[in-house]
Structure 1
Amino acid sequence: MSRNVEIPTSGKRHGINVDMFPSECGLCHKNVDPTYISGVFIDGYDNSSSNVLELVFQCTNVECRSLIIGYFRRTQKNVFEFVNNAPLEPTKKEFSDEINSVSENFIEIYNEAYFAEQKMLTLISGIGYRKAIEFLVKDYLIFLNKDDETSILARPLGQCINTLENENIKEIAKRATWIGNDEAHYQRKWEGKDIEDLKKLIEVTTYFISMDVASKKYLEEMS
């Protein structure tokens, strides 16, 4: 449902409709219905000439109360459509203790890609996720066999995946790599899959690795 706000320009107030207010504060990451303060037309003088609008809100979370800038663009229906809001403090993806013990490199790379995605840098975030997969798989193999580290690091990712004994990890990691490769290449092979599928496959891969590491740990401790 659209919402009406007034924009002050040179003593006049222009009523305009926006499709929605920002629903999450980019700093405290709480779901809020922010308080509208004011706004400006960016590429024109008034509602009749401008297609771009910036509105200022205040976060209603009493522990935050930060200002929120909402960015809007006019649609063919003469409503300004919400695009995104700023400022944004990226959040981190948390992983299990087992994944932390296997590959701190993976977690750092994944979160850099995740930061890029939250900053709307989606054309490069996919490549970062692809790199994260490689570090996860290779560090996992090294975790299982430290004496083979030099050989593992020298192999291409595909060969490393094929040496995995756990079939669940092997098959899911393969598919994560396929989509990750699409993110790095000009032409896509998996047209029906995107970065959300890539993240889901990474999540499943980390789940199976976590379960494998935890089971090995308990079997060793309780032998």
Structure 2
Amino acid sequence: MFPDNESFIKRTVNRSMVCPHCSEKMTPTLLSITPYNDNQKYVATLYCSDCKYPIVKLFAKVWFSDNVNEINLEYNKGIVVDLPKNIEKLSPDFVIKTNRGETDKVSKMLLKPVIEEYLKDNDKLYTMSLACAYLGNDYSHYERRNLDKDIQDLERFIAVLISYISYELTLHEANDFIQ
């Protein structure tokens, strides 16, 4: 049997809301309410009536009261990258244009050796690629080393790297055109 707070939670979750996944206004379908943490918290499992993705809501019992409050959860909607068309055309599968004959070799290498071996002749490309690799790697470990940089720095570095590659491709296209 669910706790007395079930009716409050049902009223809260069965109202119109914006789906954290598809951003559509909808009324979710309640699947379950599960108490945990000695009945001090409750997890409501729902799903979007539009996109059918699951939604989780968390509620905590208010001390010295029979009420519960919803605890806001953040959903990551995923990363949408708007790549320049020349990069999308060049590399839908991230194949290295200038070294296509070495795809098998490159695909088996670690990232840093690929950068060091194939990008060393272009200082700007080498620097930005290595900076992205270092900072991205830093976020894959439990203990970060580069505390003076954050995810916004990584996003900025990647944006500059993409812009630089697009610049180089456009420059090569212009060079081919005037030849």
TM-score bracket for this pair, using the shorter chain length: 0.5 to 0.7
Q: Give distance in 1, aligned partners of 2:71 and 2:12.
A: 6
Q: CA deviation at 1:217?
A: 0.6
Aligned counterpart, 1:211:
167
Equivalent position to 2:25, from 33, 39, 44: 33
Aligned counterpart, 2:65:
none
Equivalent position to 2:113, from 152, 156, 160: 156
Q: Tell me if the contact between 1:158 and 1:174 (Cα under 8 Å) persists in the aligned partners.
A: yes
Equivalent position to 1:175, from 121, 124, 131: 131
Q: Tell me if the contact between 1:35 and 1:57 (Cα under 8 Å) persists in the aligned partners.
A: no
- 55 and 183 in structure 1: CA distance in 2 versus 1, 3 angstrom threshold: closer
AA in 2 matched with 1:14: S
Q: Does 1:74 align with 2:53?
A: no
- 185 and 82 in structure 1: CA distance in 2 versus 1, 3 angstrom threshold: closer
Identity %: 15
Q: Deviations 1:45-104 (Å, cap 9, x if unpaired)?
A: xxx935122253654xxxxx344543122347641224367xx9x786453332234433
Q: Deviations 1:179-205 (Å, cap 9, x if unpaired)?
A: 122134454221243455434422321
AA in 2 matched with 1:214: T
Q: CA deviation at 1:178?
A: 1.2
Q: Deviations 1:143-187 (Å, cap 9, x if unpaired)?
A: 34668x59x9478135237614252x3332221011122134454
Equivalent position to 2:44, from 43, 48, 54: 54
Equivalent position to 1:96, from 73, 77, 84: 84
Task: Calculate the TM-score normalised by the size of structure 2.
Answer: 0.62
Aligned counterpart, 2:176:
220
Task: Calculate the TM-score normalised by the size of structure 1.
Answer: 0.52
Structure with bigger gyration radius: 2
Query: 1:9-28, aligned counterparts within 5 Å?
Result: 14-16=7-9, 23-24=18-19, 26=21
Q: Deviations 1:18-54 (Å, cap 9, x if unpaired)?
A: 699763353xx3x23322554642126xxx9351222
- 93 and 158 in structure 1: CA distance in 2 versus 1, 3 angstrom threshold: closer
Could you tell me which runs of 5 or more consecutive residues in structure 1 were left unpaired when the two chains were aligned: 1-8, 60-64, 107-134
- 36 and 165 in structure 1: CA distance in 2 versus 1, 3 angstrom threshold: closer
- 68 and 199 in structure 1: CA distance in 2 versus 1, 3 angstrom threshold: same
Could you tell me which runs of 5 or more consecutive residues in structure 2 were left unpaired when the two chains were aligned: 63-67
Tell me how many residue pairs correspond in the alignment: 165
